[in-house]
């Protein structure tokens, strides 16, 4: 498999400290053939109020300039659309006319507006976990995305794996829709440098996806700091 990373945030994401040039230099040093910068496009009202809207016109020019300067590596101009299924009409209007690939779809918020992508005071209860996976099912069913990002993100700050057997049929349905629509499953490394210390989704779910006929799999560091880019491939011997 080509050495790649399809989930990286740089200076156009409000929560990232990575500069585009340092990322490209580091990627070339580490022998990557392909990377995708996938800046946040979070359009829920509370997010727009806090962080505003990034300029896709400026982002487009930014990627084009990086491509021109670093021609020895394939650089994709991607986006991570948070909770896309809740803002689909608005999001489609904003991204129309921009050649974005890959489009990552991700779930950050539950129906009760709990943000599951940040540290939480306690683990989710079974009803909340079900809600999380139902949100992912709606996302893959209704939105045109290339990759489903960080499935199971709520576990990043857990210390041990939870028992998810009661949700497996729902996860299978997510995979069935993904396979039918040609959506890739991301193996997300962000939990490797957080308390959970496991990839998301875990190897069991990767094997399940493949047994069901899923063949589209991509790696994503979900890096927001340069020190978290590339370390996972080296430290965890994932090739």
Q: pLDDT at residue 231 above 90?
A: no
pTM score of the predicted model: 0.96
Helix, strand, or coil (residue 5) = strand
| HSE-up of residue 210 (Cα within 13 Å, Cβ side) | 11
Q: pLDDT at residue 239 above 50?
A: no
Confidence of residue 69 (pLDDT cuts 50, 70, 90): very high
We report the CATH number of the domain holding residue 74 as 3.20.20.140
Q: Is 232 exposed, middle or buried (0-12, 13-18, 19+ CB in 10 A)?
A: buried
Report the alpha-carbon angle 196-202-204, nearest 5.
140
Q: Which of 7, 1, 4 is closest to 188 using CA atoms?
A: 7
Q: Quote the pLDDT of residue 33.
A: 97
Question: Which residues are 38's β-sheet partners?
Answer: 78
The C-alpha atoms of residue 221 and residue 32 are separated, in whole angstroms, by 13
Asked if 34 and 76 count as a contact pair (C-beta separation under 8 A), the reply is: yes
Question: Which residues are 79's β-sheet partners?
Answer: 39, 103
Give the pLDDT confidence of 155-190 residue by residue, as tens digits: 999 999 999 999 999 999 999 999 999 999 999 999
Question: Which residues are 5's β-sheet partners?
Answer: 35
Structural domain that includes position 141? 4-235
Confidence of residue 56 (pLDDT cuts 50, 70, 90): very high
The C-alpha atoms of residue 138 and residue 134 are separated, in whole angstroms, by 6
Confidence of residue 122 (pLDDT cuts 50, 70, 90): very high
Give the pLDDT confidence of 135-155 residue by residue, as tens digits: 999 999 999 999 999 999 999
Confidence of residue 1 (pLDDT cuts 50, 70, 90): confident
Residue 103 to residues 37, 80, 123, 215: CA-CA distances in angstroms?
A: 10, 6, 29, 18
Asked if 36 and 8 count as a contact pair (C-beta separation under 8 A), the reply is: yes
Q: Which of 159, 150, 156 is closest to 218 using CA atoms?
A: 150
How many domains in the chain?
A: 1
């Amino acid at each position: 498999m080509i050495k790649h990373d399809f989930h990286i945030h740089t200076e156009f994401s409000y929560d990232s400290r990575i500069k585009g040039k340092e990322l490209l230099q580091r990627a070339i040093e580490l022998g990557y053939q392909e990377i995708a910068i996938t800046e946040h496009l979070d359009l829920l009202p509370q997010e727009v109020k806090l962080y505003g809207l990034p300029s896709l016109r400026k982002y487009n020019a930014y990627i084009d300039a990086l491509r021109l300067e670093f021609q020895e590596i394939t650089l994709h101009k991607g986006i991570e659309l948070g909770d896309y299924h809740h803002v689909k009409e608005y999001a489609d209007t904003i991204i129309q006319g921009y050649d974005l690939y890959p489009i990552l779809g991700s779930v950050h918020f539950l129906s009760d507006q709990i943000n599951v992508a940040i540290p939480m005071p306690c683990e989710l209860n079974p009803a909340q976990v079900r809600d999380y996976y139902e949100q992912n099912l709606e996302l893959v069913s209704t939105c045109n995305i290339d990759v489903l990002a960080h499935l199971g993100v709520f576990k990043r700050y857990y210390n041990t794996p939870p028992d998810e057997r009661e949700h497996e049929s729902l996860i299978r349905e997510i995979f069935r829709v993904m396979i039918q629509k040609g959506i890739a499953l991301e193996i997300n490394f962000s939990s490797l440098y957080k308390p959970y210390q496991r990839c998301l989704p875990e190897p069991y779910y990767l094997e399940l996806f493949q047994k069901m006929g899923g063949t589209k799999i991509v790696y994503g560091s979900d890096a927001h700091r340069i020190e978290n880019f590339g370390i996972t491939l080296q430290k965890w011997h994932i090739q």
